[in-house]
Structure 1
Amino acid sequence: MVLQVSDDNRVRTLTLNRPDVLNAFNEELYLATATALREAANDSEVAVVLLTGAGRAFSAGNDLVEMQRRITDPAFNQQGSHFSTMIDALTDLPKPLICAVNGVGVGIGATMLGYADLVFMSATARLKTPFTSLGVAPEAASSYLLPRLMGKQNAAWLLLSSEWIEADEAQRMGLVWKVCAPDDLMHEARRHADVLASRPISSLIAVKQTMVAPTRDGIAAATAREIEHFTELMGAAANSQALSEFTGRRGSD
């Protein structure tokens, strides 16, 4: 089971569960997460969604083995991707989303935080968006959401540099709300989730809708721009070389 789902006191916890590959998103996990978000949205007993990762990672991002397969296997590429299915589900989620970043968050494991209403992060966790090191473009409307959330220069460094961001720096930048000791992370995230879950769901939805409504058109436009650039760059020389180096290292492990 690539995604664990549990309910307690009107809080639905989704746990990314591919710990052997640091919870990297493959097509199965994209679809499972999207489905779980849709189900939480439609469940009248769920007030808050809490998202975290199993093992030592939050998510290592897109499964790069699958990314390379998209370049080398036209039949697989023609099947499309559930990446956009998950992004649509995140965009449409009408209830509060809390992320508890328990370990490394890479690529979509970092950019999806732009959709969270509250982000808690372990003091030992780190974030990275390796788009330039992979020779590709941003994703998940991060080119729009992150400057709004973090300010232009903080977002520029995160998206352009492909460098690691430590937890305290992520908090200073505004991407993370609270940094916690590793053993306290889930307790703190859950404590705040319980506070929200004690409020009327109709009111939670109204507040969130009024906050996110101004961003909907911007997310859609940014997503279209990013897809255009990503499609152009994926499989080009820089991307092909980066993926070959990655799979080569993986094969020699």
Structure 2
Amino acid sequence: MTDHVLTERHGAVMTIRLNRPEKKNALTRDMYRGMAAGLHAAAADEAVHVVLLAGGADFTAGNDIGDFAKAGERDPKDPGAAFDFLEAILAFRKPVVAAVRGNAVGIGTTMLLHCDVVVASETARLMMPFTRLALCPEAGSSLLMPARVGPAIANWWLLASAGFSGADAAAAGLATRAVADDEVEATAAQMAATLAALPPGSVQESKRLIRAPHMEAVKAAMAAERVSFGERLRSPEAQAAFAGFLKKAS
């Protein structure tokens, strides 16, 4: 597992922590593989009842744009390891708690739709900049975000790539709670411990029942998004956007 993804277990809670602070936890293919491996390990370990996803000062700045820019070098049917991670979190049967501070960009926002509890800093900065990068929604967000926060807000966030705060996320229903920045990790850990102390079979079956009515629709949305996202990655429009971003960042 990459050093940029760390796992640690305290009691029945496994923490999967992103650890690339110098890049605001921008996600590489290896990091996606590391997160997916952490979820698979947690799923196989009956001593783990809950997973806590965390970063540090930043949750994640989203996908490493350098990886996006190399899309043309890969199999056209494979837009990246991100989708393998998303399939892993979708299938994960145990509760997932997210602790969100700082930047939560792109998949850093959309993965929250697959978390059961989200604790966000009131000042966290969330954004789904897909249209700014000439891309399209992923993680089932084209279906799940309007269902979660309502079409009017979801349309603006997704179509305009509009940023919003952790407080906004909680008010709209994307986050469970918004708290002061220095309280995020302690609050998330406490909520994870509360879930971990409950009968695990009961909690897992309850999660399955909550999600079951919509699961096939979510899978279908994610499959359609995966095709469109792969096509968009290789489009001249997107490659120009990536080149502009990398030039500005250099």
TM-score normalised by structure 2 residue count: 0.95
Q: CA RMSD in A?
A: 1.4
**What is the CA distance between 1:33 and its match in structure 2?**
0.3
Secondary structure at the aligned position of 1:109 is classed as helix
Q: Residue 30 of structure 1 aligns with which residue?
A: 32
Q: Residue 51 of structure 1 aligns with which residue?
A: 53
Partners of 1:208 and 1:231 in 2: CA distance:
31
Q: Residue 246 of structure 2 aligns with which residue?
A: 247
Instruction: Give the paired residue count.
Output: 247
**What is the CA distance between 1:130 and its match in structure 2?**
0.3
Partners of 1:79 and 1:228 in 2: CA distance:
7
Task: Give the counterpart letter for 1:228 in structure 2.
Answer: V
Q: Residue 148 of structure 2 aligns with which residue?
A: 149
**What is the CA distance between 1:245 and its match in structure 2?**
0.8
Partners of 1:37 and 1:163 in 2: CA distance:
30
1:48-87 deviation digits (Å, cap 9, x = unpaired): 1110103x2101111110100113xx2x446942212111
Q: Residue 168 of structure 1 aligns with which residue?
A: 167
Q: What stretches of structure 2 of length at least 5 have no aligned partner?
A: none
Q: Residue 120 of structure 1 aligns with which residue?
A: 119
Q: Residue 16 of structure 1 aligns with which residue?
A: 18
Q: Residue 93 of structure 1 aligns with which residue?
A: 92
Identity rate of aligned residues, in percent?
34
TM-score normalised by structure 1 residue count: 0.93
**What is the CA distance between 1:10 and its match in structure 2?**
0.6
Q: What stretches of structure 1 of length at least 5 have no aligned partner?
A: none
Secondary structure at the aligned position of 1:99 is classed as strand
Bigger shift: 85-94 or 220-229?
220-229
1:9-38 deviation digits (Å, cap 9, x = unpaired): 211111111111111111100100001011
Q: Residue 226 of structure 2 aligns with which residue?
A: 227
Task: Give the counterpart letter for 2:60 in structure 1.
Answer: S
Partners of 2:85 and 2:231 in 1: CA distance:
22
